[in-house]
Structure 1
Amino acid sequence: MPEEVIERLREKEWHSRRTLKARLKGERPFPVSVSLRPPRGQEAVSDLERFHRFISAWKAFPDQGCVQWESRSFRQLSLQEVPVRFLVRNVGVLAELLGDEERTALAAWERRISFILAEPFAQGEDVQRELFSALVDNLDVLRKFSEDDFKLLVRLIPQLCPGLGGGHYLRALPVVHVDTKFMEQNFQLLERLIDVLYVGDVTASGGLLEWLNCRKSPKGWSFVRPLCSCSQSALGGLPILQMDTETLLGFELPASNVLVVENAQTGLALPSLDNTIAVFGGGKNVSWLSAPWLYSRNVGYWGDIDSEGFSILSDARRRCPGIESVMMDESTVEAFSLRMVDEPSSVDFVPGFLEEHEAELFHRLREGAFGKPRLEQERLPADYVLQCLTNWAS
């Protein structure tokens, strides 16, 4: 029936964005063809009311240019004109068939794409073709733009050029009239469009940030806390500060001992230790432990005694092979087993960079040898922590 065909087109051709974009770009050519599967022979004769309803519905369909009819002969019915196929010639017809919402969306896409392709920066046959493809791939982004934001996009594109960032962060980009938060919010679209305009130079540079010569925004923040007066003095007298991953990779912390602690609150409660700096609160973020300057340091890791803690320890040792686990052993578990709790989630595989005694403890925790599988850092008493850390640091 007509309404069934329309809903099928809506689902398969419009709501499927991959299909719609392929149609617009010519990768899947029109017309769209839908078989109407008309009744045959005895099927038509056995239910004449349904057969006539089928014929009448298609005769009443307003766009007869989409309906393909054939003459077919039926016993007891003689020769009949039967609708056999529904053809959609182009995307404009598709939108008209589907309704006002789709017609409005298509008109908005066409208007905005045409506007961009008419700009001076978009001239040239190859550029037009590639820009059209890139814009079609971002149909939903284009439609969500307000009129003001769309104008910002058009004004921003010709301002971007290689090296514009001058080694600063993206938010410091020297562009006129356009705020850099807009650029940040629409980064992927801009990266694709600029790559087209500069014939792949953005991709060859490693991405838009590199092409613009902008620094990446800091990420992977951890607390850094000197645990002795000498280390604090070497850090400008600051009792605590934060560093991102990139800074930790390149900045040599001024202490012989570097203690990595999983949780922030535990790091804040650490006792004083000679020649020691603690880095804590990063959780799973241990990528900075691949820093070459750590090879000359005594590096320790203290995390929760559970599957997640051992997983982080394994990742840390993969990056820093000399790292030593602290208070993540069976003697600690046995001493405080009454303080153990359930673990909300667990790692299903045995981490690959555990030492033998750590892997054995991991297995025993999983097997329920201690009743419950998790001993949190915060449950260890201060005197025990001080004793263990003093032994490690010395």
Structure 2
Amino acid sequence: MVAPTARRAWTTPADVTDRLRRRWMHGDFLTALAEQHPFEPLCIPLGGPKPSELTRDFDAVRTWVNTWNSAGQQFSRIEHRRVGGRVVGTNNLPHQAWIDHREQLWNLLGVTSAVHRFQTLLASAREATPELAAWMTAYPMKVLDLETDWERLHQTVRWILDYQGPPLYLRQIDVPGVDTKFIEGHRAILTTLLEHCLPADRIDTDAPRTSFTARFRFRGKPAYARFRLLGDTSVAGFSELTVRVDEFTTSPPGIRTVFIVENETTYLAFPPQPASIVILGGGYAVTQLAELQWLHDKRLVYWGDLDTHGFAILDRLRRALPHTESLLMDRSTLTAHRGQWVKESKPARGPLPSLTGEETDLYQSLVDDDFGHGVRLEQERIPFSAVQTALAGLQYLSTQPPHDERCPRPTGTT
């Protein structure tokens, strides 16, 4: 009996079909069709028995040959070669399989209907959106993967190409069957198609590819600032307002100090302070406040969680607004509240160049787990008496000669 490893080396019709199917999946056959290249006959070499195997396992060889004889009609022709043996004589064995026509290839792979569907989609694009047809020619299998949604994708690209008005929200794209959920669900492929089809001046290459609205100059959801007045003053009778950041162009009257906190309850309970407001931050989105140019002329105090991400947010804010001070984000505050520590699950670890020396030292201690693994002190866990003491210290410092604003002063106190 011939060894199993040897018998597996004899090419079967299924092996040939699998090999051709792999080439089909790469898209080469459809690309050649779309580019209208003449079909070049395909020759597939067949691995078959060696002369010594004819002698050892003639029955297995005969079965293999009969398999090819039965499958021969799937191919244009099967070429043979003579293989000889002193015991069994010379024999004609399958040597090469040929496919001479595209239609025969489509039938062998069972893809005739898929080819026709691709040709229909391609013809539509060539007529309406030639730029898209060029991409489809290069990536035909991606088109077939998305064929259920392709017409809507095509119409969306066509609509955006044709639109010449002022920036719109995605909701205003007027294509039948297309809504914001469809666009969000197909954001990656639409980004690719629009980058291929749109003129360069219609694409903001500084915006990340993940930001579809910004990259293709749609209107994004506006940023909002929620703030409370901390003294006895109000704005049009309101002590608390939420306003669009791009419209928050001037300071409320009489304000000298602006506090930024992250916890909503802390924001709501923040103690009265003269000539001050408190803004509810948004984590790393706090840098949206950099658009408020009037903040450069105010005393700006940030109080975030005492953990690595709190310092990362402080660093990001200070890069936009260098005069930002910190409140209750110091080593003495952390160590005075050991009973309130919780665990930070995914600490930040990158360099934070905008921190002061003391802040950097504490941040590095948190990164290095000097106090224990993932130590975190959330701002809402700090007693309000400590908050009031720290704020009193701020008011005292505000009466002292000004410090060099290039090195913001830490103001935390216990």
> Is TM (by shorter chain) over 0.5?
yes
After superposition, the C-alpha distances for 1:339-378 in whole angstroms (9 at most, x for unaligned) are: 1122211224343332221221122223433345111122
TM-score by length of 2: 0.71
- Worse overlay, 67-76 or 90-99: 90-99
User: Is the 2:48–2:94 contact (alpha carbons within 8 Å) kept by the matching residues of 1?
Assistant: yes
Q: Are residues 49 and 285 of structure 1, via their aligned partners in 2, closer, same or farther at CA, if it must alter by over 3 Å?
A: farther
Q: Give the distance between the partners of 1:211 and 1:353, measured in 2 at CA.
A: 29
Residues 214-229 of structure 1: pairs in structure 2 closer than 5 A: 215-218=218-221, 221=223, 223-228=225-230
- In structure 2, the residue matched to 1:52 is 62
The Cα of 1:211 is off from its aligned counterpart by 11
Q: Are residues 9 and 275 of structure 1, via their aligned partners in 2, closer, same or farther at CA, if it must alter by over 3 Å?
A: farther
Q: Give the distance between the partners of 1:45 and 1:271, measured in 2 at CA.
A: 98
Q: 1:65 aligned to 66, 69, 75, which one?
A: 75
The Cα of 1:224 is off from its aligned counterpart by 1.4
Q: Give the distance between the partners of 1:274 and 1:23, measured in 2 at CA.
A: 75
User: Is the 2:228–2:277 contact (alpha carbons within 8 Å) kept by the matching residues of 1?
Assistant: yes
Matched, 1:288 2:298: no
> Greater Rg, structure 1 or structure 2?
2
Matched, 1:272 2:272: yes
User: Is the 2:261–2:302 contact (alpha carbons within 8 Å) kept by the matching residues of 1?
Assistant: yes
Q: Give the distance between the partners of 1:32 and 1:282, measured in 2 at CA.
A: 62
- In structure 2, the residue matched to 1:321 is 322
The Cα of 1:330 is off from its aligned counterpart by 0.1
The Cα of 1:331 is off from its aligned counterpart by 0.8
- Worse overlay, 274-283 or 372-381: 274-283
- In structure 2, the residue matched to 1:206 is 203
TM-score by length of 1: 0.74
- In structure 1, the residue matched to 2:338 is 337
Q: Are residues 169 and 366 of structure 1, via their aligned partners in 2, closer, same or farther at CA, if it must alter by over 3 Å?
A: closer
Over the residues paired in the alignment, what is the CA RMSD in angstroms? Answer: 4.2
Q: Give the distance between the partners of 2:304 and 2:101, measured in 1 at CA.
A: 61
- In structure 2, the residue matched to 1:370 is 371
Matched, 1:38 2:48: yes
Residues 73-112 of structure 1: pairs in structure 2 closer than 5 A: 73-76=83-86, 77-86=88-97, 93-99=104-110, 102-112=111-121
After superposition, the C-alpha distances for 1:39-75 in whole angstroms (9 at most, x for unaligned) are: 3333454343443333222222254436652313232
Q: Give the distance between the partners of 2:241 and 2:322, measured in 1 at CA.
A: 27
Q: Are residues 45 and 210 of structure 1, via their aligned partners in 2, closer, same or farther at CA, if it must alter by over 3 Å?
A: same
Q: Give the distance between the partners of 2:356 and 2:386, measured in 1 at CA.
A: 23
- In structure 2, the residue matched to 1:139 is 143
Secondary structure class of the residue paired with 1:83: strand
Q: 1:379 aligned to 373, 378, 381, which one?
A: 381
The count of corresponding residues between Structure 1 and Structure 2 is 371
The Cα of 1:390 is off from its aligned counterpart by 4.8
Query: Structure 2, unaligned stretches of length 5 or more?
Result: 1-11, 205-211, 399-414
- In structure 1, the residue matched to 2:409 is none
- In structure 1, the residue matched to 2:249 is 251
- Percentage of identical aligned residues: 24
After superposition, the C-alpha distances for 1:318-353 in whole angstroms (9 at most, x for unaligned) are: 333222222111011111012112221122434333
The Cα of 1:225 is off from its aligned counterpart by 1.4
Counterpart code for 2:385: D
The Cα of 1:37 is off from its aligned counterpart by 2.5
